[in-house]
Structure 1
């Protein structure tokens, strides 16, 4: 019996205690369980750990029906694994007709307390290192800026922002020696660091450009210092985006005695950011020759299946179907040709879908249609001034 094929994308969420990580995760998962969303989506979101799924759904329903905010978790270093299973007629089709059966999103939640206070002893210090190692494979990292603390520090926002960034930077410096073996830079590491405004509903006059300008004006130098620290951990540090992408996140609209879970902002961009944003950025870096062959092989390791899903054929897929060593060799001689082909495949996917509208019921169940929908979601997020993507 053929094995199930899954595209696995990782996202790491960093934020201080109380910055809204648990609420955000519960809003993400709970909203996907709403009957209207199950009906309209081309996929179902399923928690691989049923207990985690029940707990997150319970949190969401508590907000929705009882205006109860989920309890904060302390020192809980947890990874959540969600499967996006595609629905429809193609579920019973032979496996070879589909590039994928599912997409897996792995969500790493890093305890905020480790930004704000020292560990209690060697055992906790080791757990902190192991936790960070566990999220090194993340494709995207979200660094949360707490909207409540911006409100509390109105007019002096730099006090809070500088503290946030310096705590995070210092935490990384403390981990550096434990993360780097023989001082060798890491090939696998989160390379896209998105700055996210959590609790954005508390700042209704902010769009993403207002937020971006505030952060850069107040703590631009601190972002540069953070990038320097992160760059010191990775091979090919030119292939690193830190503080170049910004997003607004609001898990619900909170008011006295009510939580309106339908009034979400940015939650629906989490899947697109995790699944599509890295692929687009990695292709751009490869095209600009900002990465070594080893890093290019790692960054584009999922390109075969994504390119296959969106219709990239010929030499592109052929170059990526071998072992990682063969991939690196192929990339070494044809990187400048490979990356534009992949990028063109992305750009042309929409046209291909439009030309086959009669097959929409079938296409809807395909990974290609889902990825194209995610790309459209990112574009719409920018148009609505919820998302600002790097132009570099």
Structure 2
């Protein structure tokens, strides 16, 4: 049997210090998707390709939901989780062919202890480098800021934030030499780095704009230094953003003896951010870079299939969609469409059982709503 065709694969890397909530976030993301009420409402199922991983994540989630038990922290083990986003109900319409696996999310979980502890052995150092190398295919990376730690440092937030950003920078600097032994910069590298406020439920008065403003005020210079450090990894560093996107993330509401997993913020944005957020940035950057550069070609290989899909479904004038090479130059026209137009395309795709279009336009609508709700602050570039 031939493997199922994947029309769109996206990778996301999540970084955070020990205890910042990475395991809880991942468990909530997967466990919530298994709830019957959530599954019945959606167009797709989220399936863990590794059954054992999926069982463990679901168990973590049920422990939080039913007994108020938080998952055990994972230590010193970089993990890669692969999720298939499969259309619900199998084949649709008149087709008798098996439904293709049309979306896939690869989630890289980078151990928090590695930002806080030096490697004990050469073997552990090699593991760190290999783990980081494995996530270089990600387009999106999330740097977590721990809401509990912010709360603990009320009035002196810069003490925590400066240490956090400095730790991120120092660790990545140590990896750079081993990832680039010949000094040759990388073409494939996460080029969109968001800051995510984990445990955002502990700071209910803080929206995404206030989160951004706090970081800029307290550690703007440190973020600029981190940006310089990461830009040093890559060819064409102008095709890179850090500190331009901010998201609130709360896996549940934690109360004494109880965890309310029905109270979440931003968890449902993981898929839309991974699948759609890179698209707009990649096309803009590809347009701005010199024609034929390795980076421009790589960016368009990533964005091209989705761009072609959206162009077709939005029914742009014929001349605008005749030549594939022209696709980067019509991007602005595509996304000048209003929410109402995108909603119309989404509704029509649902009615026609056009799975990929329905899901991706749904993701775009979710991102727009998150911006309105001030859960997400997107780059204006």
TM-score relative to the length of structure 2: 0.92
Question: 4+ runs of 1 displaced by more than 4 Å?
Answer: 88-98, 313-320, 346-350, 355-359
**Distance in 2, Cα, partners of 1:317 & 1:292:** 20
- What residue in structure 2 maps to residue 324 of structure 1? none
* Aligned with residue 375 of structure 1, among 361, 364, 374: 364
Residue 182 to residue 152, structure 1, CA distance change in 2 (3 Å): same
Q: How does 1:201-212 map to 2 (within 5 A)?
A: 201-212=201-212
- Residues 1:294 and 2:303 are matched in the alignment: no
**Distance in 2, Cα, partners of 1:352 & 1:374:** 10
CA contact (8 A) 2:147 2:203 kept: yes
- Residues 1:111 and 2:111 are matched in the alignment: yes
CA contact (8 A) 1:283 1:343 kept: no
Q: CA RMSD in A?
A: 2.5
The offset of 1:361, in angstroms, is 3.0
**Distance in 1, Cα, partners of 2:349 & 2:240:** 39
**Distance in 1, Cα, partners of 2:74 & 2:66:** 21
Q: How does 1:266-277 map to 2 (within 5 A)?
A: 266-277=266-277
The offset of 1:283, in angstroms, is 1.1
CA contact (8 A) 2:350 2:358 kept: no
The offset of 1:257, in angstroms, is 1.2
- What residue in structure 2 maps to residue 72 of structure 1? 73
**Distance in 2, Cα, partners of 1:136 & 1:355:** 33
Give 5+ residue unaligned stretches, structure 2. none
Q: Secondary structure at the match of 2:204?
A: coil
**Distance in 2, Cα, partners of 1:371 & 1:198:** 25
- What residue in structure 2 maps to residue 57 of structure 1? 58
- What residue in structure 1 maps to residue 257 of structure 2? 257
Residue 234 to residue 93, structure 1, CA distance change in 2 (3 Å): farther
Which is worse superposed, 219-228 or 100-109? Answer: 100-109
**Distance in 2, Cα, partners of 1:282 & 1:81:** 23
Which is worse superposed, 109-118 or 303-312? Answer: 303-312
TM-score relative to the length of structure 1: 0.89
**Distance in 2, Cα, partners of 1:56 & 1:316:** 45
Residue 153 to residue 302, structure 1, CA distance change in 2 (3 Å): same
Which is worse superposed, 161-170 or 287-296? Answer: 287-296
**Distance in 2, Cα, partners of 1:300 & 1:274:** 16
**Distance in 1, Cα, partners of 2:14 & 2:378:** 18
CA contact (8 A) 1:90 1:362 kept: no
Residue 385 to residue 348, structure 1, CA distance change in 2 (3 Å): closer
**Distance in 2, Cα, partners of 1:355 & 1:111:** 40
- Residues 1:305 and 2:305 are matched in the alignment: yes
**Distance in 2, Cα, partners of 1:290 & 1:370:** 33
* CA deviation map 1:55-103 (0-9, x unaligned): 10011011111111111111121000000001247447559999x6321
**Distance in 2, Cα, partners of 1:77 & 1:191:** 20
- What residue in structure 2 maps to residue 327 of structure 1? none
- What residue in structure 2 maps to residue 334 of structure 1? none
* CA deviation map 1:133-183 (0-9, x unaligned): 000111100000001110111111111111111111011111111111421
CA contact (8 A) 2:153 2:160 kept: yes
**Distance in 2, Cα, partners of 1:222 & 1:292:** 34
- What residue in structure 1 maps to residue 154 of structure 2? 154
